[in-house]
Structure 1
Amino acid sequence: MIREALPMRRLALIAVLTTPLTVAAAPALAVGAGEIGGWGDAWGEDQAPNPAQPSRPRATIPAAQPAAPVAAPQPAPAPAPVQPGGWGQAWGEESAPEPAPARTRAAIPAARPVAPIAPMAPAPIAAPAPVQPGGWGQAWGDDGVPEPPQPRRATIPATAPTFPTASTPVAAAPRAPAASASDIRGWGDAWNDDAPAEPGQTNRPVRPVSVQPAAAEPEAAPKAPRPMAPATQDSVDGDEAEEPVRLTADQIIHDRELGIVTAKGRVEVGQTGRTLIADTLSYNLKHDVMTASGNVTLVEPTGDTMFAEYFELTGDLKDGVGKELRVLLSDRSRMAAASGIRSGGNRTDFDKAVYTACEPCRNQPDRRPLWEAKAVRITHDQEAQVIEYRDAWLELAGIPVAYTPYLSHPDPTVKRKSGLLAPTMGLSSSLGANITVPYFWAIADNQDITFSPRFLFPSSTATKVSTPETLDDAQDSVLQRVVLAGNHRWIGRSGEATTNASLTQDRHTAATRGHIDSEGRFDLDRTWRAGYQLQRTSDGTYNSLYGYPINSNRPWLTTRPYLEGFGRRNYALVEAMAFQGLRPTDDDDTSPLVLPHAMFSHQSHPNSRGAFWTVDSDMLAYNRLDGVSARRLSSNVAWNRPFRGKQGDLTDVSVSLRGDGYHSDHLNENQGSATAGRVVPQVAANWRYPFVRDSATMPQIIEPMVMVAASPNGNNPRSIPNEDSLDSELDDVNILRANRKTGLDRVEGGLRGGYGLRWSAHPRRLGYVAAQVAQGWRAHADSTYSERSGFGDNLSDYVARFDYAPTGNISFLNRVRLDKETAEVRRNETRISVGSPILRADVSYYRFDTTESENLTFPSKQVVTYTLSSQMTRHWAAQASAASDLSDNGGPLGWATKLIYSDECFAFVTNFRRSYIHDRDILAGYELTFNVVFRTLGDVPFNVF
């Protein structure tokens, strides 16, 4: 028995008779959601059920018209000739059955149930009359009501008493794309062989997928084939093994004697989430084996797609063998093989296989990929989520560059997996030869650890430090030859944390050296957040020498736990801080330990006139083993209001009252403890008057600015220690502030102010240009400013800023401080960038004169850096840079070059550096770094010198 259905796209009229059967495609008709096959097939008999019996919903056939009843047909003189593929083949007979008396043909409404009845015995069949293929007699084949045409799908029922009630709809699967990577060449070319290997030539025998035939059974009770459900049913929950096979094709032929279903033309088979597409398919129902040929495509639930010329599979599509295989993985990487064996639905062994992550060249699809891994056998274990290689060669541009007897890497479904990572090899003048072999441990979905032990192989010229403390070079402990390093990452619903640490022993002194760099943040609720920062190292040069940089450009490390809260108009912070200096002159005994530091800020809602209050409070306590220790309490309350004049001028007025209290120890050698305090009332106003000139070519804005502030003089007694107000440098940012000091320990008093002018223009086609110049003044001298600070007397130096960005390819920034009397440059900061990505040049210049601030002197510095970069092509880029100290005792600091190649599957980066800086046990020298990245395989970095 056979049940056929019409497709949604291509329609075939199927007749269930004893004449030969050929299923052909026809124009599509509207089909209901619950349509099923013919009556005889649906009930397992040769006649239709009583119309009162319930059935699955049936679709309305718009083309059907009512017809008058006709008399029973008379016996025909002779049966019509049987054509191959017709009903006779389908039923194994030589004549077609007589058509039943036609009944009135009426449109059958969709989804209309009828009452159930018991099946009836088949009616006697008279001599068959000549019937044209596709006629109504063939379409009915019994005395029942005619069944509407069905979609182009066939369901082969089992002899088992029940069927699964539904099946998974088969999604449309892609046809085989253009051959890619190595699969576009013959296997003889890939393996230096003249002919492709056959499946039988693999290292192990090809395991047949078909099971052995069952023992002989009576003709009436053959072995139950895998059930095939109607294509229009929905999926059901349950074991995958019980899900029926779903088949669609242009032509379906069922040989009942042999138990073989043959499908031709756009064949699609769905089972357990997998889809098989082929030109021709033969399904042996007794042995549950499918044989597919011609543009075979197998789509996995993971997104992997396999292409072949020939495939033999079990009915559940889990086991099989194939030849001339090509695989497109879900991450767009590719594999090709001469043959392959599939087992269990989750493991595929490819013999004489090639793997690459490179996309085929669009212009030259036959071109060899940039890199590929060839192996005698490649195994893709989907359950273990790993791809393994046996006897593998890595080829770069067709040239073998590396061999390994075994290689494995995670498949595209894996985001994180425990295992060894690519090693890093290096050679430096300070450490000698070394190799790092990292191991990644995926502890859980939200945390992991990477162990990165580095093995040292020192040479006689590496790290020769000429100091009296240098001991004999003999290496007595294992830890002197190994650097133990690791990284831990954790992320949760309420926060995240990262830790980097390392430990070793110095090769010359056997002193323990190491570092830790950790940072975390945890959200306690919608208002409060806690966190920490932990940075410590054994000495000032360890991180630079061993290559464990801490993300900080400052010459000190900070350890800081904190708790902070955020309100709509409030902010609160409680923290503790410890510091470690990295310069040769830094002493840990003089570094302060801050415990605690707390601050609170509040800003009220503005009233109807825009006035608002602000409150800023701060508490600080710090201690030293050697030096000043102090406690500070400070609070500032201010009333603020903006005013807008009738002419468009803007004025911000602020009236504030600030109070500070201090208790200090060891402020000087002759004083033990001291207590001091101050109250600082202040009035300040900022006025600006913007003038706008609108123009069709270049709109401009000119804005004069004036600041005036007044507070009592002499608010910086020597009994108040200075910790956070050491930097008194004037610039374009703070010149017009009421208090130009940083921090809270020093305040600016007396009558003071500043004035300046800001100009900006926006040319329609020339980008943006702006300039600003300002100067500060005060009525009384202030001892907190030194002569070299730029504000040694009543008038300050001039500070200016100039920005110019005519296009996206040109930018210029200059910030400068000029002597108020001689206009000599005291500080200059310039950055210029010219060019497009094809060729771009950047120059940065910094000059700082010597400055002083309360017993501290900051020496002058003059540094220039040059950078030239080019994105030469889509894949190639280069960069060169240099730095030089232009001071009297300066010289070149170093230079570096970089060459980069990067595409979708491969990246190559090489760096060559020359350093002229010698810092304690860090030697000046060269460094050459290679970093090769094979996408999906990992990276292979290499360091030299």
Structure 2
Amino acid sequence: MTVLRRPSAAVLALALAAASLPVVRPATAATPGDLGSWGDAWGEEVAPPPPARAPAPPPAAAPVAAAQVPAAGPAGPRPAEIGGWGDAWGDQTVPAPAPRPRALPVAAPAPAPAAIAPAAGPFPRAAEIGTWSDAWGEDATQTSPAAPSRPATRSAAAEPPPRPDVAGDDGAEPQPARPAAKAKKAAPAPEGEPPVDLTADQIVHDRELGIVTAVGRVEIVQSGRTLVADNVSYNLKQDIISAAGNITLMEPTGDIVTAEYFELTGDFKDGVARQIRILLSDNSRMAAATATRVGGDRTDLDKGVYTACEPCRKRPDRRPLWEAKAERIIHNQADQSIEYRDAWIEFAGVPVMYTPYLSHPDPTVKRKSGFLVPTAGLSSNLGASLTTPYYWAIAANQDATFTPRFLFPSATTTETPGLVESNNNILQRMVLAGEHRWRGMDGEMLSEASLTSDKHTGKLRGHLDATGKFDLDRTWRAGYQIQRASDATYTSLYNFPINARRPWLTTRPYVEGFGRTNYAMAEGFAFQSLRSIDEPDQSPLVLPHAVYSHVGQPGDKGGYWTFDADTLAYARTEGTDAARMVTRTAWQRPFIGRSGDITTLTTSLRADAYKSDFTTAGAESGTSGRVVPQVAADWRMPFVRNSPTFTQTVEPLAMVAFSPNGGNPAKIPNEDSAGFDPDEINILRADRMPGLDRVEGGARGAYGLRWSGYPARGGYIAAQAAQGWRAHADSTYGPGSGFAGNLSDYVGRLDVSPNANLAFLNRFRLDKDNLELRRNETTVSAGPPLLRASLSYLMFERTDETSETFNRRHAIGASLSAAITQYWSAYGTIAYDLTDGAGPVGWTARLAYSDECFAFLTNLRKIYVHDADVLAGYELTFNVVFKTLGDVPLNVF
């Protein structure tokens, strides 16, 4: 915040002097002819004196206040005209001056010099700056003793010009009044200083008092800073600049400052202001009765108020939703911070929090090192906790956040024994967590980690989640992903969500290259299961896994060659170890028939080599290989029908492929092709297996139909159905896969979306014999964003009773979201397991409020599932956000 920054005294003095009007001596009235005499202004007699004329009778003497406040001239723009302050801070206490016609300029009375202090007078009402009368127990209006007056001096400034409608001494006819020209000067600046543009209705230079005064719609522009006021004066002798009347200062940073009175030193480094209001660049606001500028980079606001809330448009005088008040607010521009001393936060007019000290960055700062808002929590598994994060801005391209969580005595709901003393006694009472981020020209990294000691057993526990990506050159890049935890339940127990949708952690280093027609990649994998029923020693270590793919240039007839290679090796502590090398060379060409049908012919030759080491009884280890030639063709013929109200397409589909039978020897393990489930997409492929360990042989094919419709008013309807067939029914597909015989089950989908407020999607598999549902995935969503509901249903039947990995699934879930008002919203979800002996999985209810300055989110969740040391129960989260001040989350479990 730059409240009172200013140009140098030399520049401003030169600007005011260069634009000044002549000095008019006492008892001599100023005339239009005098107003352009530069000789009088600078003491040079280069222009002939004007003809003598009878002076007008002087007005009665009036006392002049000791404070250096220029006389009010023509009213300048009010703050409401340039920044909306009337709406921002409530009704103005001073009524707007009535408009009056322009007249000839009248010189202002010369003010007397005074010390650097605001003129005595009534302060603004407390309601104008945030109801300070309620906050501090003071009267709404404060008045200082009036300054002693001094005898008035006669000068040209006190003499009114002769009326233009009165005949002169020579008896000439009266002349009509003419509007005065506005004085506007662009002063030459000293070398190294930016120029100053000064605009005003009148500019007067009094050499006797050493004061240059600009009166009436004064506007000073320099270095992107604009000052607008009714009166501005500069005391050359005391080096004091003062401004009064509808003052508005617009800073280059976007801040807008208004005040009733400014008084500054000539170098603009020190000064005072009265009734100051500040609109910061991020739309937050500050106000105070008085303000002091110190050293050019610090502004002290006495009894200040701060808020990020915008004023109510219908009731501008209404109290903001929240405001921070302090005995003193210090805006340090050098440190780019705003500090509060003896501060408290009021919410809806009620004090809710007090702190002797509070600090946050000003709007010019995007990030800064320091403590973040603490987090308090309560858990039935961990007990009470307090988190105090610290943010470290290391450099422009990297930062770190340290988040220690202090744990207190455990909850009484756990059945685990109490605290066990160990060598890790300190870590038993806290969780050390942190995050580091780095981004460079050629890469980026993100790392999260935590460490603690189990509060019951003293065993060290922790996790690591890190990712990185680096460009080696224009073709190659490398990266990594590391996800590890000390045990299966650690991330759930201590609330570190990693791979929230998957019950395992993945570690993967990789390097890959991109060419115009080829791609190469080498990677490794390590997995860690997060399910307590899995055996860690059976998770494979994959190293290496390398792939290469090349696509040739199309020939004259559209045909092109492709080549793919895949090599893989994996090992386990307990289980099968194997290595493989797979290559595939293919040629493909599309044909377009005369009737518009499209046929794509593909010929390929695949060669595989395997080496396996089985540990299961009866399995045969050793080396093996296979060569699989294949010819395949797929055909489709789209039909289109147009009408003014509806457009539809019908597309018959067919696929046929031939390859030798018996392509799956017993020595080849099946790791990546287990759990095949036919659907409307893979059933129409020549290679239907999800991986490379299994191939389908013999004559086979599929047929289907695709239909879509598009109403003229918008939306769409799409449907597809298909069935696969094979001439030789072998053991390639399991008995519960839906393709155990010569014909597969019927598969398809239906997708309906007539408009943006309704969507229906269903994917199904029907038994080929009795048309019973074997798989049913349905999702329905309806309603506008104001009130939208969705329902999801999953039914997946496996008839293979020996399958433990891919067993039966039957569940339903629903959600409801509502935008209650402009600021209020609600959301709820529920999930239920429909399998035998199961029950509810969990439900969530959420209520949120968010406006331009305040937000809070409350989330209630019920968990029914037990997992080792993670207990079932309720979880309540309540987050409060005072925007621009910080996030105050409170977690209660």
Q: Please, what TM-score do these two structures have when normalized by structure 2?
A: 0.83
Asked whether the equivalents of residues 559 and 589 of structure 2 are also in contact (C-alpha less than 8 Å), the reply is yes
CA shift in 2, pair 1:502/1:852, >3 Å: farther
Cα distance in 1 between the residues matched to 2:849 and 2:441 = 38
Q: CA deviation at 1:800?
A: 1.1
1:691 aligns with 2:639: yes
Instruction: Decide which of 719, 728, 747 is 1:771's aligned counterpart.
Output: 719
Pairs within 5 Å for 1:184-195:
185=130, 187-195=132-140
Q: CA deviation at 1:667?
A: 5.5
Aligned to 2:55: 81
Asked whether the equivalents of residues 22 and 251 of structure 1 are also in contact (C-alpha less than 8 Å), the reply is no
Asked whether the equivalents of residues 23 and 252 of structure 1 are also in contact (C-alpha less than 8 Å), the reply is no
Cα distance in 2 between the residues matched to 1:601 and 1:595 = 19
1:46 aligns with 2:45: yes
Q: CA deviation at 1:586?
A: 2.1
Aligned to 1:279: 230
Q: CA deviation at 1:551?
A: 3.2
Cα distance in 2 between the residues matched to 1:234 and 1:258 = 24
Aligned to 1:65: none
Pairs within 5 Å for 1:40-439:
40=39, 45-47=44-46, 78-81=52-55, 174=82, 177-180=85-88, 183=128, 185=130, 187-196=132-141, 231-232=185-186, 238=192, 246-271=197-222, 273-439=224-390
Moved more, 520-529 or 481-490: 520-529
Q: CA deviation at 1:495?
A: 1.3
1:726 aligns with 2:700: no
* 1:605-635 superposed Cα distances (whole Å, 9 cap, x missing partner): 2223221111111111112222221211111
Cα distance in 2 between the residues matched to 1:233 and 1:657 = 86
Aligned to 1:128: none
Secondary structure of the residue that 1:589 maps to in structure 2? helix
Q: CA deviation at 1:735?
A: 0.9
Secondary structure of the residue that 1:558 maps to in structure 2? strand
* 1:807-850 superposed Cα distances (whole Å, 9 cap, x missing partner): 11000000011100111111110000011112111101111112
Pairs within 5 Å for 1:327-726:
327-465=278-416, 473=420, 477-666=425-614, 668-669=616-617, 673-726=621-674
Asked whether the equivalents of residues 184 and 200 of structure 2 are also in contact (C-alpha less than 8 Å), the reply is no
CA shift in 2, pair 1:578/1:309, >3 Å: same
One-letter amino acid of the counterpart of residue 557, structure 1: L
* 1:525-544 superposed Cα distances (whole Å, 9 cap, x missing partner): 22211110000001111101
Aligned to 1:933: 881
Asked whether the equivalents of residues 22 and 34 of structure 2 are also in contact (C-alpha less than 8 Å), the reply is no
Q: CA deviation at 1:252?
A: 0.9
Q: CA deviation at 1:279?
A: 0.7
One-letter amino acid of the counterpart of residue 374, structure 1: K
CA shift in 2, pair 1:625/1:13, >3 Å: closer
Cα distance in 2 between the residues matched to 1:3 and 1:473 = 79
* 1:63-106 superposed Cα distances (whole Å, 9 cap, x missing partner): xxxxxxxxx99x96x54427989xxxxxxxxxxxxxxxxxxxxx
Asked whether the equivalents of residues 786 and 853 of structure 1 are also in contact (C-alpha less than 8 Å), the reply is no
Secondary structure of the residue that 1:735 maps to in structure 2? helix
CA shift in 2, pair 1:403/1:730, >3 Å: same
Aligned to 1:864: 812
Q: CA deviation at 1:248?
A: 2.4
Count of aligned positions: 784
Cα distance in 1 between the residues matched to 2:742 and 2:618 = 34
Aligned to 1:170: none
One-letter amino acid of the counterpart of residue 326, structure 1: R
How many percent of aligned residue pairs carry the same amino acid? 60
Q: CA deviation at 1:585?
A: 2.5
Aligned to 2:108: none
Asked whether the equivalents of residues 847 and 862 of structure 1 are also in contact (C-alpha less than 8 Å), the reply is yes
Q: CA deviation at 1:271?
A: 5.0
CA shift in 2, pair 1:462/1:21, >3 Å: farther
Asked whether the equivalents of residues 23 and 253 of structure 1 are also in contact (C-alpha less than 8 Å), the reply is no
CA shift in 2, pair 1:25/1:889, >3 Å: farther
CA shift in 2, pair 1:310/1:199, >3 Å: farther
* 1:614-671 superposed Cα distances (whole Å, 9 cap, x missing partner): 1111111112222221211111111111111100111111111111111122354467
One-letter amino acid of the counterpart of residue 767, structure 1: G
CA shift in 2, pair 1:197/1:323, >3 Å: farther
* 1:877-901 superposed Cα distances (whole Å, 9 cap, x missing partner): 0012111111111111111110010
Q: CA deviation at 1:435?
A: 1.1
Aligned to 1:924: 872
Pairs within 5 Å for 1:877-888:
877-888=825-836
Cα distance in 2 between the residues matched to 1:322 and 1:662 = 85
Q: Which ranges in structure 1 are unaligned for 5 or more consecutive residues?
A: 27-36, 49-71, 86-151, 153-172, 201-228
Asked whether the equivalents of residues 186 and 198 of structure 2 are also in contact (C-alpha less than 8 Å), the reply is no
Cα distance in 2 between the residues matched to 1:83 and 1:13 = 26
One-letter amino acid of the counterpart of residue 136, structure 2: W
Asked whether the equivalents of residues 566 and 572 of structure 1 are also in contact (C-alpha less than 8 Å), the reply is yes
Asked whether the equivalents of residues 328 and 334 of structure 1 are also in contact (C-alpha less than 8 Å), the reply is yes
Cα distance in 2 between the residues matched to 1:25 and 1:606 = 90
One-letter amino acid of the counterpart of residue 177, structure 1: W
CA shift in 2, pair 1:491/1:472, >3 Å: closer
Cα distance in 2 between the residues matched to 1:853 and 1:518 = 40
One-letter amino acid of the counterpart of residue 261, structure 1: V
CA shift in 2, pair 1:84/1:734, >3 Å: farther
Instruction: Decide which of 758, 776, 792 is 2:706's aligned counterpart.
Output: 758
Cα distance in 1 between the residues matched to 2:782 and 2:137 = 52
Cα distance in 1 between the residues matched to 2:440 and 2:622 = 48
* 1:192-238 superposed Cα distances (whole Å, 9 cap, x missing partner): 422245799xxxxxxxxxxxxxxxxxxxxxxxxxxxx9954687874
Q: CA deviation at 1:274?
A: 3.5
Asked whether the equivalents of residues 348 and 379 of structure 1 are also in contact (C-alpha less than 8 Å), the reply is yes
Q: CA deviation at 1:868?
A: 1.1
Cα distance in 1 between the residues matched to 2:201 and 2:30 = 13
Aligned to 2:794: 846
Moved more, 846-855 or 368-377: 846-855
Q: Which ranges in structure 2 are unaligned for 5 or more consecutive residues?
A: 1-12, 60-73, 75-80, 90-126, 146-182
CA shift in 2, pair 1:273/1:441, >3 Å: same
* 1:461-481 superposed Cα distances (whole Å, 9 cap, x missing partner): 24324xxxx686557701101
Cα distance in 2 between the residues matched to 1:248 and 1:408 = 39
CA shift in 2, pair 1:501/1:185, >3 Å: closer
Moved more, 659-668 or 810-819: 659-668
Cα distance in 2 between the residues matched to 1:927 and 1:619 = 47
Asked whether the equivalents of residues 781 and 793 of structure 1 are also in contact (C-alpha less than 8 Å), the reply is yes
Aligned to 2:688: 740
CA shift in 2, pair 1:24/1:490, >3 Å: farther
Cα distance in 2 between the residues matched to 1:175 and 1:485 = 46
Cα distance in 2 between the residues matched to 1:335 and 1:401 = 20
CA shift in 2, pair 1:17/1:360, >3 Å: closer
Cα distance in 1 between the residues matched to 2:493 and 2:643 = 59
Asked whether the equivalents of residues 267 and 277 of structure 1 are also in contact (C-alpha less than 8 Å), the reply is yes
Moved more, 444-453 or 619-628: 619-628
Q: Please, what TM-score do these two structures have when normalized by structure 1?
A: 0.79
Asked whether the equivalents of residues 289 and 313 of structure 1 are also in contact (C-alpha less than 8 Å), the reply is yes
